[in-house]
């Protein structure tokens, strides 16, 4: 029955994440961006919250709470409120862990999930995007060819988070180029596999705190049992949907942050003898920020709600991301505008949110809820 | 738990409203758009039926409890789906059929909402089932409804009303009018009260029917009150002038329920246009796919998909505002958010649908152009786009109406 209230447990998670965001993520965001790296101790602090192992069953060493895309959405938004790059980095282990949890074989779960329940931050990654203008997540060019007892993976991936540190990769590849999503599967590759080459971090306009690498697979051979889900395979569309929903949740976080920052600034900034927020030209931009942030949030919720009910949310996730891409750019752009010249200065975070937010439209497979 | 499932009762309301919209509204949509100002007699039975099945009913004990809850918001342990959610779900479906005809449904108007909300049992007995319209706007008083100049003066056992009201929806065909008037100009907003005036009272004259862009199936009347006498107990609520603006705030509070309604109407109308546009384009060979990168979409496909996303957002914002209202949470901000978003997007979507369909969209042989004209009103009445933005901005800034004019 219609309800906009998170559960009690979800509220506790939100509260915990909010504190972490305020104490750790936001204060370190600018330094991480400028230094192009996130110190290990920040990742460790996030790991200590136990939010990744939370939904891993106890038999694999986790806490055994219910796996919920909705909880993931609530978390992702609040973390991205602090900083999107740090949020993506801290949640990056889930890129591997959640698909295995949901769609892995029993052997795969046993072998891999336990690795995410240890003490230290577990670097693992997902290689989904590919470096070309015409990249489309429904038309993956990286190929997986079966040859007797092995799959041979071939292709180029880009924007692979922490590829240099990751022990485990989930690589998205196509067995049938013409079949789109239906012909696309996920394959588990471990660090150091032959034919796996990891390049220096790529350079992007935003998200600089998060190391993103190009990964080349040149006839990388993996055993048959390394296909996610084994002979049954996995539902790649589901991975894509969860990734889209995650981006929408983060978009809501960025826009909410922009709104709050711009609201505070506009109230304090006095020109012509009164706060600039007293002018409709400014105030109406702020109003739109509030309206669109809520819209994005609920679109993410709706899609996550369907996902949690095991219903197809392809349409909802896709439309939500389309929406979030458009409006995040608009809102963060207006955020800079409210601050005027100051918005353009790197002392204020809005220009960073503007750059990060620009990625919402393009990025797939960098987070999963 | 966050949930978007409509309870069975609401699904039934939705289905019922949809059938009525499809079978009773759509076939006569064009007829009454052309026959401006003519009462669509065909829908009278529907209005009566709806008044019975989903009508407000007299404010009884339940509403008193609700008042208490509003004063002292309890921590929500049980979340309910109530009258506002029911209204917005029904309204979206009805407006999908025809928002002009929807406004012409006897007994379903704003006047009835006001009577249901604040009448005494005795008043409800007298007016509850009457076809009621609402008269707020005046020639010199639009968005600034605190500035109205129609007066009500107590003379013995009667109120005497004087003034001119405009833009009274269904003002000609209704049986009673709920009139906003001031009992004491010097008291400002606090002096504004609402009165039920029966149409057959001497001194009440319908002077003009507006010719409008859309929603032509409903009449929009100017009404003049000249020494119009009504019984003393035709006043809705207390005649006392309370502290500064308390009374007026109460009046404004009805907007928290009606704005999500208007938002839902805009959503329904826009949905009609979007569905028709998509179906028509599909017949022409367009395929709409969910999942491709933007560079793989053509302009028409991308625009249509984006509008579908907008429509989903509109509905969710509306549900949230209504749900909060039903759960006795203050929802002025959320009501205005829904109205701001839906008002403007409804207009935009219907306009874009006309454009996407080219000559079919512009043609009066189809209904898209009508929906475009109809939908525009939703960005105007119950507070224009700009008023909603002011409400939203003041809320998030914590500014008064003096700090943000």
CA distances from B363 to B17, B40, B217 (A): 27, 23, 19
pLDDT value at residue A71: 97
The span from the CA of B61 to the CA of B57, in Å, is 12
Mean pLDDT value of segment A329-342 = 97
Confidence of residue A177 (pLDDT cuts 50, 70, 90): confident
Q: Give the model's confidence band at B78: pLDDT under 50 very low, under 70 low, under 90 confident, else very high.
A: low
Do the strands B192-198 and B176-182 form a parallel or antiparallel pair, or are they unpaired?
antiparallel
Buried-state track A99-132, b at ≥16 Cβ within 10 A, e below 16: bbbbbbbeebbebbbebbbeeebbbbbbbbbbee
Secondary structure of A223-253 in the HEC alphabet? EHHHECCHHHCCCHHHHHHHHHHHHHHHHHH
pLDDT of residue B328: 86
pLDDT at B251: 66
pLDDT, tens digit, 9 for 90 and up, residues A287-321: 999 999 999 999 999 999 999 999 999 999 999 99
List the one residue out of B5, B113, B137, B12 whose CA is nearest residue B63: B113
Q: Is the pLDDT of residue B244 over 90?
A: no
Cβ count near B156 (within 10 Å): 8
pLDDT at B77: 52
Question: Are B316 and A315 within 8 A, CB to CB?
Answer: no
> Which of these ranges, B68-72, B192-196, B199-203, B306-310, has the smallest mean pLDDT?
B68-72
**Given an 8 Å threshold on Cβ–Cβ distance, is B6 in contact with A2?**
yes
Specify the pLDDT at position B62: 41
Mean pLDDT throughout A12-19?
97
Contact B25, B101 (CB under 8 A): yes
Residues of A with Cβ-Cβ distance to B340 under 8 angstroms: 287, 291
- Which pLDDT band, with edges at 50, 70 and 90, does B110 fall under? confident
Average pLDDT over residues B77-105: 90
Identify all chain B residues contacting A295, using CB atoms and an 8 Å cutoff.
313, 316-317, 341
Mean pLDDT value across residues A14-35: 98
Position B74 scores a pLDDT of: 45
Average pLDDT estimate for B187-202: 92
B245: confidence class by pLDDT, cuts 50, 70, 90: low
Residue B243 pLDDT class (50, 70, 90 cuts)? low
Beta partners for residue A184, in sequence order: A174
* Chain A partners within 8 Å of B334 (Cβ): 294
In the stretch 82-111 of chain B, residues with CB closer than 8 A to chain A read 85
What mean pLDDT is reported for chain A? 96
Based on the residue annotation, tell me whether B382 is a catalytic residue of this protein.
yes
- Answer yes or no: is pLDDT of B51 > 90: no
> What domains lie within chain A, and their CATH numbers?
8-120 (1.10.540.10), 125-232 (2.40.110.10), 236-362 (1.20.140.10)
Our CA-based measurement puts residue A190 at a distance from the nearest CA of chain B, in whole angstroms, of 29
Question: Smallest Cβ distance to B393: which of A139, A286, A315?
Answer: A286
Read off the pLDDT of residues B346-362 as tens digits, 9 standing for 90 and up.
999 999 999 999 999 99
Strand partners, B194: B180, B236
Q: Please give the domain boundaries of chain B with CATH numbers for all domains.
A: 8-124 (1.10.540), 131-236 (2.40.110.10), 246-397 (1.20.140.10)
Q: Which two tokens stand for residue A120?
A: 């230290």
Task: Name the residue with higher pLDDT: B377 or B129.
Answer: B377
CA distances from A76 to A52, A243, B88, B276, B312 (A): 12, 11, 31, 37, 21
CA distance A321 to B305: 11
Block residue for tokens 């942050």: A257
Does the pLDDT value for residue B65 go beyond 70? no
Q: Which residues contact B28 (CB under 8 A, 6 or more apart)?
A: B40, B42, B43, B98, B101
Query: What is the residue-averaged pLDDT of chain B?
Result: 90
Mean pLDDT of B15-44: 95
Length of chain B (residues): 405
pLDDT tens, A150-170?
999 999 999 999 999 999 999
CB B301 within 8 A of CB B288: yes
Between CA A368 and CA A68 the distance in angstroms is: 11
Preferred mutation among B14, B294, B313 to probe A, highest tally of A CBs within 10 A: B313
The total number of residues shown for chain A amounts to 369
List CB contacts (< 8 A) between A2 and chain B: 3-7, 10, 81, 85, 319, 323
Mean pLDDT confidence for B251-261 = 82
Q: Kindly report the nearest CA distance between residue B330 and chain A, in angstroms.
A: 14
Q: Which of A7, A240, A323 sits opposite B313 (nearest CB)?
A: A323
Residue B80 pLDDT: 83
A133:B295 CB<8 A: yes
Digit-coded pLDDT (tens) for B131-182:
999 999 999 998 888 889 999 999 999 999 999 999 999 999 999 999 999 9
């Amino acid at each position: 029955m219609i309800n906009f209230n998170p559960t009690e447990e979800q509220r506790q998670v939100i509260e915990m994440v909010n504190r972490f965001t305020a104490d750790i993520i936001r204060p370190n965001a600018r330094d991480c961006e400028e230094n192009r790296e996130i110190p290990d101790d920040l990742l460790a602090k996030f790991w200590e919250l136990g939010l990744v192992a939370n939904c891993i069953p106890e038999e694999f060493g986790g806490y055994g709470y219910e796996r919920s895309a909705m909880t993931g959405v609530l978390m992702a938004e609040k973390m991205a409120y602090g900083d999107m790059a740090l949020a993506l980095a801290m949640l990056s282990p889930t890129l591997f862990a959640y698909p295995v949890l949901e769609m892995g074989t029993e052997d795969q779960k046993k072998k891999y999930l336990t690795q995410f329940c240890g003490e230290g931050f577990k670097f693992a990654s997902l290689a989904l995007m590919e470096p070309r203008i015409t990249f489309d997540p429904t038309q993956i060019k990286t190929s997986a060819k079966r040859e007797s007892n092995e799959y041979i993976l071939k292709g180029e991936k880009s924007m692979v988070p922490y590829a240099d540190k990751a022990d485990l990769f989930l690589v998205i590849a196509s067995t049938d180029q013409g079949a789109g999503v239906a012909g696309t599967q996920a394959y588990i590759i471990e660090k150091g596999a032959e034919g796996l080459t990891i390049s220096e971090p790529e350079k992007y306009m935003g998200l600089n705190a998060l190391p993103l690498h190009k990964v080349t697979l040149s006839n990388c051979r993996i055993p048959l049992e390394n296909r996610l889900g084994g002979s049954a395979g996995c539902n790649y569309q589901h991975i894509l949907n969860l990734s889209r929903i995650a981006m929408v949740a983060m978009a809501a976080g960025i826009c909410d942050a922009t709104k709050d920052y711009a609201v505070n600034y506009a109230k304090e900034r006095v020109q012509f003898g009164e706060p600039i927020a007293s002018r409709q030209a400014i105030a109406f931009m702020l109003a739109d920020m509030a309206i669109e942030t809520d819209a994005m949030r609920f679109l993410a919720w709706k899609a996550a709600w369907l996902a949690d009910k095991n219903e197809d949310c392809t349409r909802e996730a896709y439309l939500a991301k389309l929406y979030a891409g458009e409006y995040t750019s608009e809102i963060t752009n207006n955020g800079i505008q409210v601050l005027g010249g100051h918005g353009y200065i790197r002392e204020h975070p809005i220009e960073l949110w503007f750059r990060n937010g620009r990625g919402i439209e393009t990025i797939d497979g960098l987070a999963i809820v | 738990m966050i949930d978007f499932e409509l309870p069975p009762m609401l699904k039934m309301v939705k289905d019922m409203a949809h059938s009525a919209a499809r079978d009773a509204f759509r076939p006569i949509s064009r007829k009454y758009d052309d026959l401006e100002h003519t009462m669509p007699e065909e829908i009278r039975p529907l209005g009566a039926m709806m008044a019975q099945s989903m009508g407000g009913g007299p404010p009884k004990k339940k509403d008193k409890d609700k008042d208490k809850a509003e004063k002292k918001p309890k921590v929500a342990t049980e979340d309910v789906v109530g009258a506002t959610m029911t209204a917005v779900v029904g309204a979206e479906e009805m407006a999908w059929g025809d928002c002009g005809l929807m406004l012409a449904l006897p007994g379903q108007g704003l006047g009835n909402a006001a009577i249901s909300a604040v009448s005494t049992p005795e008043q409800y007995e007298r007016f509850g089932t009457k076809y009621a319209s609402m008269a707020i706007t005046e020639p010199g008083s639009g968005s600034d409804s605190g500035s109205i100049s129609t007066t009500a003066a107590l003379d013995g056992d009667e109120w005497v009303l004087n003034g001119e009201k405009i833009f009274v929806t269904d003002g000609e065909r209704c049986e009673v009018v709920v009139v906003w008037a001031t009992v004491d100009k010097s008291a400002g907003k606090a002096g504004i009260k609402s009165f039920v005036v029966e149409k057959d009272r001497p001194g009440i004259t319908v002077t003009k029917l507006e010719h409008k862009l859309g929603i032509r199936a409903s009449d929009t009347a100017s009404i003049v009150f000249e020494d119009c006498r009504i019984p003393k107990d035709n006043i809705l609520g207390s005649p006392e002038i309370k502290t500064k603006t308390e009374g007026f705030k109460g009046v404004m509070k009805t907007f928290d329920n009606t704005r999500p309604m208007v938002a839902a109407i805009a959503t329904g109308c826009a949905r009609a246009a979007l569905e028709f546009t998509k179906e028509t384009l599909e017949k022409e060979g367009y395929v709409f796919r969910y999942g491709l990168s933007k560079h793989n979409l053509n302009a028409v496909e991308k625009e249509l998909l984006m509008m579908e996303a907008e429509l989903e957002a509109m509905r969710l914002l509306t549900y949230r505002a209504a749900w909060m209202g039903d759960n006795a949470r203050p929802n002025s901000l959320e009501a205005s958010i829904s109205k701001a978003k839906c008002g403007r997007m409804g207009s935009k979507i219907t306009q874009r649908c006309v454009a996407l369909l080219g000559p079919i969209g512009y043609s009066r042989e189809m209904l898209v152009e009508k929906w475009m004209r109809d939908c525009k009103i939703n960005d105007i009445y119950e507070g224009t786009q700009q008023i909603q933005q002011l409400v939203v901005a003041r809320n998030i800034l914590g500014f008064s109406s003096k700090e943000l004019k």
